[in-house]
Structure 1
Amino acid sequence: MNMFKQLRNLWIPCASMFALTCFGNAFAQVSYQVTDLGVPKNDNYSMIMSVNDEGWSEIMAGNFLPGQGDSLSGVPLNGRALINVDGYYVDLGTLGGPNSWMNFGEINDFAQVVGDSETAVPDPNGEDICGFGTHLTCLPFLWQPFHMSALPTLGGNNGEASAINNLGQIVGMAENGAVDPSCQAGTVNNRVQLPVLWENGNAHALPTVDHDPDGFAFWINNRGQAVGYSGNCSGPIHGIVWENRTASALADLGTGGFAENINDEGQIVGTVGSADGTTQTGAIWQIVKGTGTTQLTTVLGLLPGDAAGLAFGNNNQGQVVGGEWNANFYWSHAFIWQNGVMTDLNTLFPASSSLFATFAAKINNRGQIGGMAIVCSGPHQGEMHAFLATPVKQIAGESIAQAAPNCLESNFPAADAVNRLLKKSGPGGQFVRAFSKRH
């Protein structure tokens, strides 16, 4: 069946049954079959931001300056939102401007996709929320086969949609038009950004905590529980979980944090600052059923040689994925955490893939992982490509970690050449934030 016929039949409610029959062996794999999803013509970068339980993925693709695609401070020169369905690509288009994107974003099991897109209208306040240097209005979008439509803001000019669950509930960020009092003079994106829930086409502001002026809802599960952060113009301060439009702060180590994802079992993943405020690592929280409270259950360690990291995705079986970066603020290793053990994904990728995974964004209930990787050899060497990794019950043989241990080094500039963007995130701590409010 071709892609177009598949998309027309998406609303048959079989995805959950399919997941139940497939995920049972997710923990049993010893390696992955890795698919290089490549880059669109004339691009040098692509990354999966979301993969649903059918194995279909949402991809952001575009161009960065050479060597900047895997930098936390890299700025895209252009970009497009795509989906990949069994090897077929669909360009989602834009809302009239030159670029679309998804710093967050999701494809649910019914091929509904959310993200953000530029329009053709210049931002009247000179903001550049989509981040391409065009200073065009940036709007949250909902795409469903085969049409992109804008979602409303909270009265401001800009917004971003970050996730959609299988009930059609959408979360993200929207401006209300007010000047953000916490922004320093000269800040480009200086309007209040509020966490938002879209239901039935209407935008509802979600509360922040501790009188924080800003916030962002990153993910929503199929129970309607959402997670993200509240903070100020400089970035996150408190990790947040929202239930029934009520905000609760997540525990941290005293130096801030934020939440990235929540599965249907109430397990939340994200990042926290260390107690001394010198770094950040991945973290796991759990909603305690029947109590309305959460607990910080696990602070993840770091892989050897890495400086910091975050947990970005998890599935209903408690598998957690994310990425870490080095001292030069470049993504260095994708990881999977399961059964209390963190593993470098590159030790589970075969050498034949020629892909060294630097970031794992999401994992579905079948155990498939999507993210980005650097190409270690061949005509596309040095490019950042989207990958989809499917667990298999076989020994990988030589891994890419063994075959190309120095794959990343040629792509890392000298420390003094790195444009470091540091985002304050709470008292006493600084977070490097790859996907936060841009200045």
Structure 2
Amino acid sequence: MQKILIRSLLGAVFAVGLAFPVAASAQSSYTIIDLGTFGGNFSEAFGISPGGFVTGDANLSTSSTQHAFLYDGKVKSDLGTLGGTNSTGYGVNDSGQVAGVSDLKTAGTTHAFRHDSTGMHDLGTLGGGNSEGMAINANGQVTGDADLADNANHAFRYDSSGMHDIGTLGGRFSNGVGINASGQITGSSILSDNFTIHAFRYDNNGMHDLGSLGGTRSYGYSINTGGQVTGYSAIANNAASHAFRADDTGIHDLGTLGGSSSFGEGINDSGTIVGQSYIANGTIRAFYANGNTMTDLNTLLPAGSGWQLSDAYAINNNGWIVGEGSINQEGHAFLLKPTAVPAPSSLLIMGIGGMLLAGRVRRRKRR
């Protein structure tokens, strides 16, 4: 249940009277924690909560089977499946609730799930065969995408009253990938021409088109408490894709690490973004972007760590980052923690807390 190449909300805070979201700004270095596997040779971490719970998936020892996991800072637990072979966790909150996708016993069928202390719960669909959960907020609301009876595929928001279709930007397909504490959602949707794909931000007033960096496709992946979105967009003539930050002033190109393309996947409340970028020699590196400055995370690791970080999927307000990299010729999930305490970047009042036609996001590695 791997992500189609390449994402969730991090509402964190501490304070008495005032809250300071922490920016991971110009870190001198990070410590790295290998989250391991379930006996196999591959794992990846996709989501981190404000308090440091981590989710993703990991291979079992006997086969290429992969199961969703929850890491609580000490123990990595196998979350099982909805009866099928594979599962993946994409988002997690501080209650330890996980949103993701699992195979069912019926071959070729996958459903979104929310896992809690009582087990893994099937969230169903919008009337069609398949669904997937991509992110969860502190209230347990889940976003993702689900099939309709007419074979269209729409983004949804799931809450205590069930799964709700949030529509599209005019086409037949959309998906939700990130959700914040207010229930705002980001993702992407096909427009009414049934060709152009644009990132969106959804709120109680509906779905809002975030535009692009000049190309015909853009994708939203993560949204913070302030409604800032990161993702990636094709540039003019669809020559390449670049990571972006979208806010009330528009959509802003973050550039690359020297290669052709980059992909934004996680954003925290300070606007710090993580993701993946090509470098000049064509290889892929995990990046960290504070403001408009993009840094290769590999340059911030301790000397001789043995790691090569290829993707950073999420960052919380403490600057903790999760993703996937290689160590000892295996792909492993990692957790990065900054070794220096970053300076607060802003002061907030306390309490602020393939194409889409295939019907799925590009955010995940190739199935």
Q: Same fold (TM over 0.5)?
A: yes
Whether 1:61 and 2:58 are equivalent positions in the alignment is: yes
Instruction: State how 1:266-277 maps to structure 2 within 5 Å.
Output: 266-277=227-238
CA distance in 1, matches of 2:365, 2:172: 15
Whether 1:317 and 2:302 are equivalent positions in the alignment is: no
Code of the aligned partner of 2:159: E
Higher strand share: 2
Higher helix share: 1
Code of the aligned partner of 1:157: G
Tell me the residue number matched to 2:321: 369
CA shift at 1:254, angstroms? 3.5
Which consecutive residues of structure 1, in runs of 5 or more, have no partner in the other structure? 1-13, 64-75, 123-134, 179-190, 289-293, 376-380, 395-422, 427-431
Tell me the residue number matched to 1:44: 41
**Residues 56/214 of structure 1: CA separation in 2 closer, same or farther (3 Å cut):** same
Which consecutive residues of structure 2, in runs of 5 or more, have no partner in the other structure? 1-10, 342-353
CA distance in 2, matches of 1:121, 1:374: 34
CA shift at 1:148, angstroms? 0.6
CA distance in 2, matches of 1:113, 1:337: 26
Whether 1:242 and 2:197 are equivalent positions in the alignment is: no
CA distance in 1, matches of 2:308, 2:235: 28
Tell me the residue number matched to 2:329: 382
String of CA shifts for 1:50-107, please: whole Å, max 9, x gaps: 11122120021128xxxxxxxxxxxx942110011113011111111121124xx201
CA shift at 1:325, angstroms? 4.0
**Residues 436/38 of structure 1: CA separation in 2 closer, same or farther (3 Å cut):** closer
Instruction: State how 1:32-431 maps to structure 2 within 5 Å.
Output: 32-41=30-39, 43-62=40-59, 77-102=64-89, 105-122=90-107, 135=108, 137-178=109-150, 191-209=151-169, 211-231=170-190, 237-244=197-204, 246-252=206-212, 253-286=214-247, 288=248, 295-296=250-251, 298-304=252-258, 306-325=259-278, 332-375=284-327, 381-393=328-340, 423-424=354-355
CA shift at 1:356, angstroms? 0.9
Mapped contact 1:172–1:218 kept (Cα < 8 A): yes
Mapped contact 1:195–1:206 kept (Cα < 8 A): yes
CA distance in 1, matches of 2:197, 2:253: 17
CA distance in 1, matches of 2:197, 2:21: 35
Tell me the residue number matched to 2:4: none
CA shift at 1:390, angstroms? 0.4
The structure whose RCO (Cα within 8 Å, separation 6+) is larger is 2
SS of the residue 1:121 aligns to: coil
CA distance in 2, matches of 1:272, 1:343: 19
Whether 1:435 and 2:364 are equivalent positions in the alignment is: yes
Mapped contact 1:153–1:175 kept (Cα < 8 A): yes
CA distance in 2, matches of 1:236, 1:205: 21
Q: CA RMSD in A?
A: 2.9
Mapped contact 2:12–2:316 kept (Cα < 8 A): no
Mapped contact 1:236–1:424 kept (Cα < 8 A): no
How high is the TM-score relative to the length of structure 2? 0.84
Code of the aligned partner of 1:56: F
CA distance in 2, matches of 1:356, 1:142: 32
SS of the residue 1:276 aligns to: helix
CA shift at 1:369, angstroms? 0.5
String of CA shifts for 1:354-388, please: whole Å, max 9, x gaps: 1111000000010000001111xxxxx21111111
CA shift at 1:425, angstroms? 7.3
Could you tell me the percent identity over the aligned residues?
32
Range with bigger deviation, 235-244 or 319-328: 319-328
SS of the residue 1:317 aligns to: coil
CA distance in 2, matches of 1:153, 1:121: 15
CA distance in 2, matches of 1:144, 1:96: 17
CA distance in 2, matches of 1:50, 1:23: 18
CA shift at 1:265, angstroms? 1.2
Code of the aligned partner of 1:303: L
Tell me the residue number matched to 2:6: none
CA distance in 2, matches of 1:316, 1:52: 12
CA distance in 2, matches of 1:15, 1:315: 9
Code of the aligned partner of 2:106: V
Tell me the residue number matched to 2:25: 27
Count of aligned pairs between the two proteins: 337
Tell me the residue number matched to 2:7: none
CA distance in 1, matches of 2:15, 2:308: 30
